[in-house]
């Protein structure tokens, strides 16, 4: 009997030891590869030494390693805001196309047009697209143009205005064109004049916003020149890495859907107001890496997990609204594991100072962020988007 008991005790002890060892190993693995991502507040402190590279600010193109190239014109997203990137690098990495605003009349934003003697039809400025080639050559791509996206083969899409000048009291309308190369001829992909913003390429398909009355956003797909179809009422959060799916957001900024770009078929759907934790809203211009999507949210940042036909809110990273009153813009996954997130933070003007922007980089596992140096918001401190122009 005693021998039997002894054997049993030894077996139980061995089993306990194995379970403990397995638990320790699992804990070590989870801790090492960052699989534990929990909802909670982000802590932000100064000290970001490596901003997203490359990036732009005012009339500078920075490589993030101390190098700066001088651009011919100042960066400006005046025509797009965060709907599309202000600067995009071509697939071969040789060219950067950037948005500018050629001001022809200074406008005081606090005063009305009439109080400044600005009448209907008065020219205020011209948006322009320029291309920098890395060797110091900077040339005008198009006047009266904005929101560019490179296709993998080097073709470039953008909006070309019907009349280049932006005028007071008018509607700034244009068409969407594609050039096979920067000096190629314009081929109209969307001819009907309207207020468009190019979002990016999904393979050989072009995703474009139509901005309507009240800034109502509608996402369109141009499959080929002249063949355009509506994809979603609302905006785009992110395109999947294989460019076959797009996460879109409805007008109320509460319902996220994943759509098949080729067919428009809905693959997954989530109402963030009833998710756990619930969010008041999420916004457009996030990013998608692997199975994860990150996007701005009412609390700060929302990270979704996607499957072939599923969509879950995996993590909410909240920011102190006193420090970051308007949250973040255009968050991007900054590493292959999808654990690091970089974004731009804007701080609106206040009694204590003018509006500023800075980069933050956050580890979503430790929920800690580093922030970079602040720049005036009108300098348009933004990362340069990489190949394809897919924001």
Partner 1 sequence: MRARLAVVATLAAVALTLPSPSLAYPTWFEFARHSNTFSTLTMVWQIGAGWYGTQSWRAGSGVSTDACWVGHGWLPTGYYDLKGHWDNYNAAIAGRVFYLQDKQCWNGTWRTQLFVHSEETAAQGQYCPTAGDDPYCWEGDNDYYSNGCIKLARGGNPSDLRLMHDGWHAKSGDGRHGNFTIGSWLYVHD
Positions in the binding site for partner 1 (CB under 8 A): 76-83, 101, 107, 109-115, 120, 166, 168-169, 171-172, 195, 211-217, 235, 251-253, 281, 283-284, 298, 325-327, 329, 346, 348-349, 354-355, 357, 377-378, 380
The H-or-E segment that residue 20 falls in is helix 2-33
Task: Compute the least distance from the CB of residue 215 to partner 1, in Å.
Answer: 4
**Between 153 and 266, whose beta carbon lies closer to partner 1?**
266
**Between 1 and 213, whose beta carbon lies closer to partner 1?**
213
Given strand 196-202, what is the order of strands in its sheet? Answer: 196-202, 205-211, 217-224, 227-233
Task: Compute the least distance from the CB of residue 362 to partner 1, in Å.
Answer: 19
**Between 107 and 152, whose beta carbon lies closer to partner 1?**
107
Look at strands 138-143 and 145-150 and give their pairing: unpaired
Task: Compute the least distance from the CB of residue 309 to partner 1, in Å.
Answer: 23
**Between 71 and 365, whose beta carbon lies closer to partner 1?**
71
Q: Collect contacts of 268-271 with beta carbons under 8 A, ≥24 apart.
A: 268/306, 268/307, 268/309, 268/310, 268/311, 269/311, 270/304, 270/311, 270/312, 270/313
**Between 37 and 282, whose beta carbon lies closer to partner 1?**
282
Nearest to residue 259, comparing CAs of 270, 250, 268? 268
d(CA 193, CA 61): 33
d(CA 215, CA 81): 12
d(CA 171, CA 191): 16
**Between 90 and 99, whose beta carbon lies closer to partner 1?**
99
User: Which tokens is 224 given?
Assistant: 């080929």
Task: Compute the least distance from the CB of residue 129 to partner 1, in Å.
Answer: 16
Nearest to residue 345, comparing CAs of 308, 311, 382? 382
Task: Compute the least distance from the CB of residue 387 to partner 1, in Å.
Answer: 25
User: Which tokens is 8 given?
Assistant: 């049993």
Task: Compute the least distance from the CB of residue 113 to partner 1, in Å.
Answer: 5
**Between 51 and 127, whose beta carbon lies closer to partner 1?**
127
Task: Compute the least distance from the CB of residue 120 to partner 1, in Å.
Answer: 7
The H-or-E segment that residue 29 falls in is helix 2-33
Task: Compute the least distance from the CB of residue 281 to partner 1, in Å.
Answer: 5
d(CA 229, CA 220): 6
User: Which tokens is 306 given?
Assistant: 């996607």
**Between 50 and 326, whose beta carbon lies closer to partner 1?**
326
């Amino acid at each position: 009997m005693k021998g039997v008991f002894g054997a049993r005790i030894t077996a139980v002890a061995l089993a306990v030891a194995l379970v403990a060892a397995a638990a320790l190993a699992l804990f070590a693995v989870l801790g090492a590869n960052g699989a534990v991502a929990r909802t909670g507040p982000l802590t932000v402190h100064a000290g970001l030494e490596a901003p997203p590279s490359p990036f732009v600010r005012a009339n500078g193109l920075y490589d993030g390693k101390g190098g700066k190239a001088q651009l011919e014109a100042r960066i400006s997203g005046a025509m797009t805001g965060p709907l599309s990137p202000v600067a995009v690098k071509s697939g071969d990495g040789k060219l950067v196309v950037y948005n500018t605003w050629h001001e022809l009349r200074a406008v005081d934003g606090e005063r009305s047009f009439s109080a400044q003697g600005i009448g209907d039809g008065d020219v205020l400025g011209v948006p322009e697209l320029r291309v920098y080639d890395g060797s110091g050559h900077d040339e005008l791509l198009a006047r009266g143009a904005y929101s560019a996206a490179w296709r993998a083969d080097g073709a470039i899409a953008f909006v070309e205005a019907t009349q280049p000048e932006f005028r007071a009291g008018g509607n700034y309308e244009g068409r969407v064109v594609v050039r096979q190369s920067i000096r190629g001829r314009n081929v109209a992909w969307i001819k009907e004049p309207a207020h468009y913003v190019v979002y990016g390429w999904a393979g050989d398909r072009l995703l474009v916003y139509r901005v309507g009355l009240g800034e109502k956003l509608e996402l369109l797909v141009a499959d080929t020149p002249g063949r355009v179809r509506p994809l979603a009422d609302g905006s785009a959060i992110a395109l999947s890495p294989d460019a076959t799916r797009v996460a879109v957001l409805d007008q109320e900024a509460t319902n996220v859907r994943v759509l098949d770009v080729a067919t428009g078929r809905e693959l997954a759907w989530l109402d963030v107001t009833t998710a756990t934790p619930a969010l008041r809203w999420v916004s457009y211009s996030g990013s998608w890496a692997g199975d994860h999507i990150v996007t701005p949210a009412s609390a700060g940042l929302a990270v979704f997990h996607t499957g072939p036909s599923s969509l879950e809110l995996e993590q909410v990273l909240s920011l102190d609204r006193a420090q970051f009153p308007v949250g973040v813009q255009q968050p991007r996954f900054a590493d292959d594991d999808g654990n690091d997130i970089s974004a731009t933070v804007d701080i609106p003007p206040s009694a204590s100072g003018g509006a500023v922007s800075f980069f933050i980089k956050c580890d979503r596992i430790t929920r800690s962020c580093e922030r970079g140096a602040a720049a005036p918001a009108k300098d348009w401190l933004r990362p340069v988007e990489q190949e394809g122009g897919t924001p």
